[in-house]
Structure 1
């Protein structure tokens, strides 16, 4: 029995070791981490604008106001008639009709009628327009903190490996999710969103770097990163409708508690597979972060990621408010409006994770940038939620094209022009992603309030179209001289080993030729 138990224990340990060395399980862990992180990122999109507006509205309603009727006989009360566009000034029980400007009375009557018949309609509500800035800053806080954190996480992974930062990302995300569930003030929600930025930095940089290190072939790496980005797409897909439906029918706390439970399961999987207590530094010193940031080809790829994702980043806070102002939607419709973009992003990353390598990643990104610009320009023409389906589908599909081609090309550029250590370059990629999601909501909210939502969409659409031609420079980036020397040395050594295996070395061949000449 003892020998049998030892054999079982040995087979179990062997199975665990094999699982830990499995690239597919590592891909699964990264997939789940990106899924949960982006579910938390987007689940707040339909919740926060409506929740903050409700809080502010309750605050205004709870402030003391003057009584509707004054005891003084000289006090006047204005009553708007919804039928004859007159304002009646009453003194006690006597009423005298006074004509009012028809346009003002009509607008007031329409707003009052809408508010009475449909509590979800906020047409003409100036308080709603002021929410653009607050919501934009709240959404941008996560990306801003992530932007600041990334330059530290990239070099850190070179020193201690990817496992510990990955697990730290899970712990921080769990804490942020719990804070979202129970926070009832703007400042606490802002803190929770900012804290999520630190966790996202750890998960994204460590996860992408881990995939690039275990999938060394360029085509396989592109496929793996495309699958991992599918997790990101799934999170973006599920988050808004999940959040809006749960918020409408269950409450604000429920969706965050469910995400917290899922995060615990992900943490248990990481403990089992990755063993995050071990420090496993890279075997070679990576290229310094500043050197990578001075590489023009890396900067072009990062710019594509930034401006493409800035389009959806501007949509997230501004579109629900614009819909509330112009379409009178139900709360659940605020999240459902993002489903076409999420579905198409999932389709785009799945298709072009494989196709981008065959058609040329530079061309895939160029077409994607053009399509983002055209689609985003069409969004303001929508008159109802159904009119948003096609433009949002185009936006998501195009961003999927850009991300699935530019993420693998970052690793390829490091292999081609620098030392093949990937933490820092994917920190740059994540910085680009975060710049889009930091500048987009913060600047977008202010622009939408000052010059309107259609003008905001026009600005970002034109920027994407003008940036697209720069992707042509990524068609055939040159290798650096020192990298070429390393590659040539490695090729020579491989040839030498090949000849040695056949029983003949270069030196023996030279000696043979010399003897023959003699």
Structure 2
């Protein structure tokens, strides 16, 4: 790397590269690309994994149109005893010898196959949900280590490490042919995502100290995340249907390699220590205002996380949806999320980020309750679009709000607070898929979504607390007032005793 840097600095090209390295916009582009690729990999598997796992578990009967070539048979049963008597109450002349006149058709082989397939698909929802949740669980465990690590070595090295890990995960996805191998690939992606997300958001918060500019920058970066979510499902579904399972992941690995080279050239990964003392993770976790903001991110994303493993299988079961339809169904949510994050980056600052997030949670709840009412793929467009837009409202409001809360209540060092923000995001995507399979199996797809909708409604009023959080100075003055009041009460008690 040193040789590359010396070659670059010794050419005319080096002057342009140096200016690029100092540009905040280029840092924003690099972070947005990293989030795009990470979330593109995250969602590309959504239309691929459920059907791929079903096919490898049922090689003799892969998913597709139910076979209609099997012969239809009927079985005869004896008549109900009440049919032995005629209307006058006398015994009928019907005897056992003519029982065959009472023919009652059983389920046809096609209907029986549908019933068995429905049972297998519901069971598979549990496996797929656990696999999808593994990435978020691993990311959840990695974040508390990555956040403080950025305080010691800076953001660039963890950012580059995130690229390397994501590249390996993509290659494993491309060639994995069993549940266990694909599970490892999904879990490994969680470590890379932790490095990219925490480092990227911390880097932006540091480069954009002004609260308004920071909100705009994070809205654009989350737009990269939204674009990855937007492209992933249809890209995965179409490529799987017409090219094969490995093709989308090989293309993603090539794009990730390009992003790694850009980071290597422009960010120059190296150790950069923070000048000021960072706030402890314990002090941030114990801050109720940070917890409220983080909780909003969790509940906002939990609904869509529950839909990722269960909606494609529900569509296969109730609508007979094919691969491309399963991928395209998330398209309205992704497009509207992209619009919502870019719109509410600046708008959230004007109207109040607490209000934008509060309204977002209410809209999320309404949309989740509308999804089970859909009878075909067209009926899913409006609730999915509303869901994506509302999640964009919450994410683009609460991510910069976390940085703002650290500025006014703690020390302006951002690695740990964005580790908490990423933990909140991961909790939604860990709890959601992990619980969705069990909930669908026990209470049904509809009641699962009604339950998470009610949780969003109940949590929304808490965001009013973020309307005017006390600053560090106000906090000190409140503590002084409390101490003064305690001293005064103690003095009064001593006087009364005398």
Structure 1 length-normalised TM: 0.82
Equivalent in the alignment of 2:299: 307
Measure how far apart 1:330 and its partner are.
Answer: 1.4
Equivalent in the alignment of 2:417: 425
Q: Determine if contact 2:159/2:195 at 8 Å carries over to the other structure.
A: yes
Measure how far apart 1:421 and its partner are.
Answer: 0.1
Measure how far apart 1:308 and its partner are.
Answer: 0.4
Distance 1:180 1:306, change over 3 A: same
Equivalent in the alignment of 2:486: none
Query: Could you tell me how far apart the structure 2 residues matched to 1:348 and 1:302 are?
Result: 19
Say whether residues 1:134 and 2:135 are aligned partners: no
Q: Determine if contact 1:79/1:87 at 8 Å carries over to the other structure.
A: no
Query: Could you tell me how far apart the structure 2 residues matched to 1:100 and 1:42 are?
Result: 51
Measure how far apart 1:138 and its partner are.
Answer: 0.3
1:336 to 321, 325, 328: 328
Say whether residues 1:403 and 2:395 are aligned partners: yes
Distance 1:110 1:476, change over 3 A: same
Equivalent in the alignment of 2:369: 377
Measure how far apart 1:125 and its partner are.
Answer: 2.3
Q: Determine if contact 2:71/2:109 at 8 Å carries over to the other structure.
A: no
Equivalent in the alignment of 1:147: 140
Equivalent in the alignment of 2:26: 25
Q: Runs of 4+ in structure 1 displaced over 6 angstroms?
A: 482-485
Say whether residues 1:224 and 2:214 are aligned partners: no
Measure how far apart 1:190 and its partner are.
Answer: 0.3
Query: Could you tell me how far apart the structure 1 residues matched to 2:283 and 2:102 are?
Result: 73
Q: Determine if contact 1:122/1:328 at 8 Å carries over to the other structure.
A: no
Task: Kindly provide the CA deviation profile for residues 397-445 of structure 1, in whole angstroms up to 9, marking residues without a partner as x.
Answer: 0000000000000000000100000000000000000000000000111
1:448 to 440, 443, 453: 440
Aligned residues: CA RMSD: 2.2
Q: Determine if contact 2:208/2:214 at 8 Å carries over to the other structure.
A: yes
Query: Could you tell me how far apart the structure 1 residues matched to 2:268 and 2:102 are?
Result: 78
Measure how far apart 1:481 and its partner are.
Answer: 3.7
Say whether residues 1:357 and 2:358 are aligned partners: no
Query: Could you tell me how far apart the structure 2 residues matched to 1:234 and 1:345 are?
Result: 9
Q: 51-60 vs 337-346, which deviates more?
A: 51-60
Structure 2 gap segments, 5+ residues each? 1-6, 63-69, 78-98, 478-498
Equivalent in the alignment of 2:3: none
Measure how far apart 1:480 and its partner are.
Answer: 2.6
2:174 to 166, 178, 181: 181
Measure how far apart 1:368 and its partner are.
Answer: 0.2
Measure how far apart 1:345 and its partner are.
Answer: 0.3
Query: Could you tell me how far apart the structure 2 residues matched to 1:98 and 1:56 are?
Result: 43
Query: Could you tell me how far apart the structure 1 residues matched to 2:48 and 2:195 are?
Result: 26
Equivalent in the alignment of 1:327: 319
2:253 to 234, 253, 260: 260
Query: Could you tell me how far apart the structure 1 residues matched to 2:328 and 2:171 are?
Result: 24
Equivalent in the alignment of 2:279: 287
Query: Could you tell me how far apart the structure 1 residues matched to 2:241 and 2:117 are?
Result: 23
Q: Determine if contact 2:344/2:397 at 8 Å carries over to the other structure.
A: yes
Query: Could you tell me how far apart the structure 2 residues matched to 1:123 and 1:389 are?
Result: 29
Query: Could you tell me how far apart the structure 2 residues matched to 1:134 and 1:99 are?
Result: 44
Structure 1 gap segments, 5+ residues each? 1-5, 62-77, 89-95, 116-120, 486-518
Equivalent in the alignment of 1:240: 233
Give the SS at the match of 1:279. coil
Query: Could you tell me how far apart the structure 2 residues matched to 1:307 and 1:295 are?
Result: 19
Equivalent in the alignment of 1:51: 52
Measure how far apart 1:199 and its partner are.
Answer: 0.2
Give the SS at the match of 1:58. coil
Task: Kindly provide the CA deviation profile for residues 453-486 of structure 1, in whole angstroms up to 9, marking residues without a partner as x.
Answer: 001111111111111111110000001348779x
Measure how far apart 1:452 and its partner are.
Answer: 0.8
Query: Could you tell me how far apart the structure 2 residues matched to 1:274 and 1:409 are?
Result: 26
Equivalent in the alignment of 2:111: 111
Measure how far apart 1:123 and its partner are.
Answer: 8.0
Q: Determine if contact 2:55/2:61 at 8 Å carries over to the other structure.
A: no
Q: Determine if contact 2:122/2:437 at 8 Å carries over to the other structure.
A: no
Measure how far apart 1:354 and its partner are.
Answer: 1.1
Query: Could you tell me how far apart the structure 2 residues matched to 1:143 and 1:472 are?
Result: 28
Equivalent in the alignment of 1:211: 204
Task: Kindly provide the CA deviation profile for residues 32-75 of structure 1, in whole angstroms up to 9, marking residues without a partner as x.
Answer: 000000000000000000001111111789xxxxxxxxxxxxxx
2:268 to 261, 275, 278: 275
Query: Could you tell me how far apart the structure 2 residues matched to 1:123 and 1:375 are?
Result: 31
Give the SS at the match of 1:125. helix
